[in-house]
Structure formats: C-alpha cells, structure tokens
Structure 1
Amino acid sequence: MNWNAQIKNYQSYLKIERGLSKNTIDNYSFDIERLCLFLEQNAIEVSPIKISEETIQQFIYSVSKEVNPHSQARIISGLKSFFSYLIFEDYRQDNPMELIETPKTGRKLPDTLSVEEIDALIAAIDLSSNEGERNRAMLETLYGCGLRVSELVSLKISDLFFDEGFIKITGKGSKQRFVPVSELTQKYIVLYQNYKRTDLNIKKGQEDTLFLNRRGSQLTRAMIFTIIKDLAAKIELKKSISPHTFRHSFATHLLENGADLRSIQLMLGHESITTTEIYVHLDRRFLTEVMNAFHPRK
C-alpha cells in the first residue's frame, strides 16, 4: 500500500475515531508528508509497511539540521502516532519509531508583562474612538480573568453572572468553568454594554455575543492580536506580545501575590497542574523573596 492511501486512511481515523480538529489533522499529516519528501529526494522506494528504523533515523538526522528541538520532537511524536495507527489496523507488527529518542527541549518560560506595562497598554487605548470602550473592556477581561483569546471572543452576555462575581467560560473541549471577575472589570464591561454596544446594528445570531466588531459580528482572534500589537507599538513596548501574554501575566501576578497553583489551575482551566507550572513565570527576585520569607534557616 502506498503512502498517499495510508495518509488518507490515517486522516479519516484521526477525524472519525479520535475526533481531532482539521488543524491538528493537518499538522499530523504534514509530518508524514515531510518523510515522504525525504524518501523521494533520496530515491528511497519503500512503503509505510516496510520502512525500517534505520531509514527513519536518517530522516530524523536530516531534519535535525533544519529545525529546532521543539519542532523535531513534534515530528517524532507525529510519526509515532502514524505507525501506532498502522499497528492498530494490523498493517504492521512493529513500530519503527520505538527506539528513536525525542530530543530534550526543556521548558521555555513565557514572556510576561509587568502590571505597569499592562496599565500603560490599557491607558494607550483611544477612548474617543468608536471601539475604545470595547477594547478597554476586552483587555481588562483578557488580563483580569486570564482567558484564552478564543474564550474572550466567544464570551456571551448570558455567561456574565456579576451578582455572584463570576463569568462562565467555555474552554478547550467545550469544558466549562466559572472564573471570578473583579468589580473593575465588571465596570468596564457594563460601560461598553450600556453605552457602545447598544449603538451597533447587531447581526442575527450574534445578539448574545458580548464583544462585537463594528459590523455587529463576533470578533476574530486575529483582530484581538492586531489591537494588542498596535497598542504595544503606540507605547513603544519592545517585548513581543500576543493575547496569550496577558494570560501568562495573569497567572504570574497571582502567584507572586500569594495565590496557590491549584487555584490558578482552576481559573486557567488546566486539566494538569504541570501545565499551570509552565504558564507561570518566576523571576529570580521573586524566588529570593520566597526563600527569605519562608526558609527556616534564613
């Protein structure tokens, strides 16, 4: 059986059996197609059923010269999944990836913003513009509740439970959680709702969407990214930031002010506390303060 046929079968398996998104399936497929290109360029004629560990090692070695360890690890993971599928379908008896080691990548600490930098970004919003109140409410919500950008743009008016002090978030895998919302954030949301959102010609089906563009439709994630990039340029911020930087900063500032990881994990909506540990960024100054405050032999 040739590679193209097996890749198509594998894509169907990922979609139907595992329920993966199109983007994820495309990423898995790209790793296999890259292996196919290597085989073609090196005139190696071998099927996915017969390819050996030695041939794949040659491919991994060639890839290691072109990509960083993170990308290399992703490619290896993708190929392991593909050959595991072939074993599952009884096309192969062994996995040629079994003894191939994934490179150590370490954990990259995410960029964060200081409270002063976040204040400066929000203060740079032109409140006289039609979108000013909306943008302020969005950034306050993004940072104040530690949301993913996809969670921000899909936030509904019916998700706001201000009397109880919470908003309901629908996160990855349609899993829902309740996140505390401060009075300050509530104030800016209400200002936007009552004085700016009411002026829009809201498209049918978008009546419950909280943050809307000027045409009355849901904002895109790319638009949030652009808003933040423009504000960073306006205040001449040298850091490379994105909407996710606000989420990192939310977790970092909570931790630095005494919040425990378990609480942060629940607010961020992480299944594993290990993921939360990656999101929070501890600088050496904070670690020194913790040592001085709590070590018994300080």
Structure 2
Amino acid sequence: MVEAMLRGFRAQQASRGLREETIAAREWLVRRFLIYTNEFPWRWTPSHVDEWSSTLTSEHHLAPSTIRGYQCDLRLFTEFITDNARYGWGDACEKAFGPGVHPMPIVHEWNSIAHLNGYEGNPEARPFTREELQRFLDYADDQVDRAVRARRKGALVAYRDATLFKVIYAWGLRRTEASKLDVVDWGRNPAAPEFGRFGMLHVRYGKAKRGQPPRRRNVASVMSWAVEAVADYVENIRPRFGCADHPALWVTERGGRIKPAEINARFESYRDALKLPKILTPHSLRHSYVTHLTEEGVDRRFIQVQVGHECDSSTAIYTHVSDDFMNTALRNAIAPALEPTAPYGKGR
C-alpha cells in the first residue's frame, strides 16, 4: 500500500511538470519520515510531526527554512493521500485495514514553520569587496603562470577556471548557468559592435519556476576586459583541450562538461588559499556584479533584466553598496537642502 501511494504521488507530481530532482527529493523525504515514525501513513498523527520537527532542530541543527521545506513536502504527500474524492486512498485503507483506519492531515499551521520573509538566506552572505575580488581573480591568473613555469599539467585547466570565474562575475551568472554554457551561446550585439561575437550571452538554463522549464535570457556584455578574456580562451585555449566536437564552453581534460560541484571545489580552493572569509561562495560573484554596477550608476532596471530577476526586490537583496557609495549618495541627497533658497517657494 505504501509503495502504491508513493507511485501515485510520483505520478501526480510528474503530471504537473515537476523536475525529476524535485520528485525524487520529496519521495526521499517521505521515506525518511516513514523510517523515523516506524508507522504506516494511515497511522500518522500530528504528534509525529511535532517530534520529528523538534529532532530536526535540536539534533540535526537544520535551518528553519530547511525544516519548513521538509514540512511543506510532507504536507503535499499527506494532502495527496487524504484527498479521498480524487484518489480514494481513504476508502482503500478502510477496505484493507478496517473501518476508521485511513490517512489524516498531520501538518497544520499550528505545528509547522510559516513562510513570513521573502528572503531567508544566510544574513552573513555578501558580495566580494573590490579589493577581495581583485585578489581572487589575480590569484586565479597566477595559477596559470605557476603551472606554465613548472612545466606541469594543469595550465589549461587553470586558465579555463580563471576565465570561468571572470565570466560568472562579469555576466552575473549563477553557478549552474555558467556550467551549462555552450560556445554557440555567444553572439553579437548591434548596440555594442566593439565586442564582436562576444557582445551578448544567451543563458539557456536560468533558474526555473516550479513545474516550468529553465528560463532563458540574454545578458549584454558590459566589461571590455572580461570580453577580451573570454575571447582569448575560446580562440586560443579551449581548442587545446582537443574537444572540437563538444558544444560546452567549459570542457574538462577528459572531454566532458564541467560540473557545478567542480566549480565549487576550485572556488573554495582559491578562496581558502587567500584566507578569504568562508561566507564567500561562487554566488557571491553574482552579488558582486549587481553591487558594482549599482555603485557605478547603471540603471536598476537594466541590472534586473541582466540577472534575470522578475522583481526589483530580488535585485535589491543582491545589492550591498559600499560606505563610500552611501556617503556620496547621502551628500547628493542633502545638498539641495543646504542651499540658501528654499526649494518649495520663497521663504519669509
């Protein structure tokens, strides 16, 4: 019966167009809850959720947002098996196990974490400062020089990674977006002919909405130094990997596509070697892109479109401007008030 319920739950989610990763994660969660309670779903009660949630907090020390996600997944499963009118699991349980034995709702407002904030990320998360970013990118470049001088393997990979981090920053990409780029995703931008074939980047694997395919967007090139770096990589370095028939922009020495986990590993290696704060992640490069363009006076709407945000509030979360920028903005804001003539009509 349990396996039949899980198969039905899987089919229901698949019919909604959810990704296999999402479906598998929810099934894993339900199976973990089954093991924890040592009870069948038709024997579950709200007290099981109370005890389980307490364990996730006190023993596993999970973040509230993670626990809420687990509770939501469990609620979806119990809503599925308690919807007797549509799926008939209540009748099936009573027929198999006796009158009154059927699944019941177990996740309620009073025993689950409410989603009250639009942003629940780590409050310590921040972009690179300009000095940190320069050190990081310089260090990545230095690894190429060291490998070449030592005449050892790894120079091509180091060059690839140095360019990869520049692209993540200079086009404001997510880690997965960058890993799935193909060479053909670069194109010309009539509004910026000076960048040639690297004037526009077509991101085909943007963050998807629930039940929808990955969103696409075009990101205009704005940093000439980064365009020069990626052009050099595509024209002079990538061909040396010997993967002419592979579409990926970032290829491995074994002829495959680089994976997000590999990006993380190389990033952490460089970050730790420089003794930079561990709170910095590859996503911090994307935050830095938004912040630095904001400090340079680039239009907010342009930045929002560049990074693929539907709401300006999302872009605002990414923005962490420096004290110098805030002080300059403050002086510009209060300057009119210091003028001798009142701005709204004549004084007495």
Structure-2 residue corresponding to 1:185: 226
TM-score by length of 2: 0.72
Structure-1 residue corresponding to 2:341: none
Structure-1 residue corresponding to 2:35: 37
Query: Is residue 60 from structure 1 mapped to residue 53 from structure 2 by the alignment?
Result: yes
Structure-1 residue corresponding to 2:203: 169
Alignment partner of 1:177: what SS?
strand
Q: Which amino acid aligns with 2:107?
A: M
Q: 1:240 Cα shift? A: 3.7
For 1:282 and 1:94, how far apart are their aligned partners in 2?
50
Q: 1:256 Cα shift? A: 3.4
Query: Is residue 108 from structure 1 mapped to residue 148 from structure 2 by the alignment?
Result: no
Cα separation, partners in 2 of 1:82 and 1:147, compared to 1, 3 Å:
same
Contact 1:203-1:215 within 8 A present in 2 as well: no
Work out which structure has the larger RCO, using CA pairs closer than 8 Å and 6 or more positions apart in sequence: 1
Q: Which amino acid aligns with 1:232?
A: R
For 2:232 and 2:121, how far apart are their aligned partners in 1?
40
Query: Is residue 227 from structure 1 mapped to residue 227 from structure 2 by the alignment?
Result: no
Contact 2:34-2:41 within 8 A present in 1 as well: no
Q: Give the one of 249, 254, 277 matched to 1:238.
A: 277
Q: 1:217 Cα shift? A: 2.6
The worse-fitting range, judged by mean Cα deviation, of 84-93 and 142-151 is 84-93
Q: Which amino acid aligns with 2:214?
A: S
Q: Give the one of 84, 99, 119 matched to 2:134.
A: 119
TM-score by length of 1: 0.82
Alignment map for 1:131-146 (pairs within 5 Å): 131-146=157-172
Q: 1:264 Cα shift? A: 2.8
Q: 1:191 Cα shift? A: 0.9
For 1:23 and 1:285, how far apart are their aligned partners in 2?
44
Q: 1:142 Cα shift? A: 0.5
Q: 1:285 Cα shift? A: 6.9
Cα separation, partners in 2 of 1:71 and 1:281, compared to 1, 3 Å:
same
Query: Is residue 194 from structure 1 mapped to residue 235 from structure 2 by the alignment?
Result: yes
For 2:308 and 2:322, how far apart are their aligned partners in 1?
24
Give the gaps of 5 or more residues in structure 2: 91-102, 146-154, 191-198, 208-212, 339-348
Aligned-residue sequence identity (percent) comes to: 21
Alignment map for 1:17-28 (pairs within 5 Å): 17-28=15-26
Give the gaps of 5 or more residues in structure 1: none
Decide which structure has the larger Cα Rg and report it.
2
Q: Give the one of 77, 80, 87 matched to 1:82.
A: 77
Structure-1 residue corresponding to 2:108: 98
The worse-fitting range, judged by mean Cα deviation, of 110-119 and 268-277 is 268-277
How large is the Cα RMSD of the aligned pairs?
2.9
For 1:79 and 1:183, how far apart are their aligned partners in 2?
49
Contact 1:159-1:168 within 8 A present in 2 as well: yes
Cα separation, partners in 2 of 1:39 and 1:144, compared to 1, 3 Å:
same
Contact 1:203-1:217 within 8 A present in 2 as well: no
Structure-1 residue corresponding to 2:94: none
For 1:18 and 1:121, how far apart are their aligned partners in 2?
43
The worse-fitting range, judged by mean Cα deviation, of 168-177 and 61-70 is 61-70
Alignment partner of 1:127: what SS?
helix
Query: Is residue 11 from structure 1 mapped to residue 26 from structure 2 by the alignment?
Result: no
**How many residues are treated as equivalent by the alignment?**
289
